[in-house]
Structure 1
Amino acid sequence: MSVAPSAPTSSFSLQPLAPLSVEQEDQIILARITNDERYLRRVIKKFHNYASLAQGSSAESKQDAKEAFIVELSTFRLALKKSAMVCEAEARQVEEYQSEKLRIGRWITFDPHSSSDVCTDDEHGKLRGQIEQLKTSLEHAQMLRRRKMEYDFVTEKINTLPSREELNQCVYALVLVYTLTQYNSRMIQALENDMMAIRSEHDTQNRTIQSQKGALEAIISDLGALRSLGKDTADIPASLLGSPRQTPALDGSGVEDIAETRTTTPAMKTEDSDKEEGEADKVVSQDIEMGEVEEEDKNTKNKKKTREDMEEGEATDASSELSDPPDDD
């Protein structure tokens, strides 16, 4: 059994990549800057997703991945068309710029060797007029732009403020609060004045009550003293009621002098007890004229009132048989 010779194996050697030159790096960087590769990266991502789902996946997932790839491809196609249109517009602008530059150069500089570059005074005047007009238009455009920026700035600030209705509501609320504050302050002042008047009236009434209370207490004490004096007088025996005040006997006076001074009072009380209620004392002498009163009766009544008004044990200024000093005889 013969063995077939093995095929010679080809050896692959990894060769290092040649470094990019400076110009190539600049071109790559410029292409990255000028070209937007987002659409291209999206298309590549969707394509890899669709390729990974091509085997071993359901038909529904494949269909969804296919539709997503088609949508991204259409978007990339539109972006390419837009880029082509932009490039064409830029090329036209470059051509217009170059032609305008040449025309302006021919107008400003005069070349005697070229018959087509001859510029007359009328063309120079038209050119200066156009330049002045363009300057004026540029200044006007700059002013409009500046005003627009200021307007946008002011508008932004105004938009941060509340609306006119909200401001009116705030002003109305502030006016209402101010009015209520003033009304409350006036009410508080009126209540304070009323409280001060009530306090003063209360103090006056307290003083009046205290004075009336003092007077009433004085009257009650006087009535109590009179009641106790009357009770004491009623409890004294008739033999000792010679005088409402017991004046101490003087030295050298005997019992006979004391007995003589007590002869009038029992007789007066006996006469008063015999009289009926509401009856007046009408003891008048036949020799006395109408309208006159006996002096003795007046003296007796005055003495009785004076004795009743004086407190027990109080001495009188009037002279009596006990208070008079004894005779020298």
Structure 2
Amino acid sequence: MAAEPQSSSSRSIVSIPPLTTEEEDQVILARITNDDRPLKRVIKKFHNYTSLSHAPLAPTIGTTTDQSLDDAREAFLVELATFQLSLKKSVMICEAEARQVEEYQRERHEIEREHAVLREQIDQLKAALEEAQIIRRRKIEYDLVAEKVNTLPSREELEHSINSLECDMAAIRTEHETHNRTLVDQKASLDSIITQLDYLRFMGKDKDVASVDTSRVPTPAPDSAGPDVVEDPPEATPPIATEVAQNEREEGEHDKGAPDSTEASGTGVDEDDIEMGEVEEDPKPKRKFREELEEGEASDASSALSDPPDDI
């Protein structure tokens, strides 16, 4: 009797530690995935059947009969068959899950293959899109250029206009050359006319001087003058005067009238001066120019008409 309190106190001292959260989760997952209740029922039926099949050494009151033994055996066999069916069901579930895994792997490989194919197609479509954009941009540029070209005249019209312009340029060049030759000829003519006018002017002056010299009459010297006074001899007409006179006759009769009238008026005035007893002296410029003409030098005098225009 004393031993029983000691054993109860020792049993009360031993304490089971509580399960952690992870351990509880594992127990719950094992119970969900592995249902052991059928196995426990089979074991229970088996123990029941064994306990009935083996009779105890000391018979007890209310022992079972052969009827209860058969029932226990049948119940064990039924429970065993049920357990076998559950095991077959689990095997079938495992095989189905394996087939599902294989199907999943196959589908995954198929999806990956399709993904690669679609990626290649996307790359090809990107390249095609870029090429289409380039073609569209070139087409827009071509349309702009074609529109500008259509606004221009045709090739035949351009060639015709070019030929007409070339003909106009050739005509302008020919006309320009003609104008240049005409200007050169006119310049030469003007130079010759100016030279002849200079000759005529010089000839008129020489005729004036000659008429004055020929009409000069010697007058008696004053009483106060000595015998050493000598009269100036008349100046000879230069040979260039005759050449100018010939040119004047070739030019026409209208150029002769003016010098003759000038000579007559000059002669009358000179005669009046001589009658008054005055001695006429040639002006220095005329004398100097006459001396130059006597030496045979031609005049190079020019006027505004002799200068060529600047645009030739």
Asked if Structure 1 and Structure 2 have the same fold, meaning a TM-score greater than 0.5 normalized by the shorter chain, the answer is no
- Structure showing greater relative contact order (alpha-carbon pairs closer than 8 Å, 6 or more residues apart): 2
- Structure richer in helix, relative to its length: 2
* TM-score normalised per structure 1: 0.31
User: Which of the pair has more CA radius of gyration?
Assistant: 2
* TM-score normalised per structure 2: 0.33
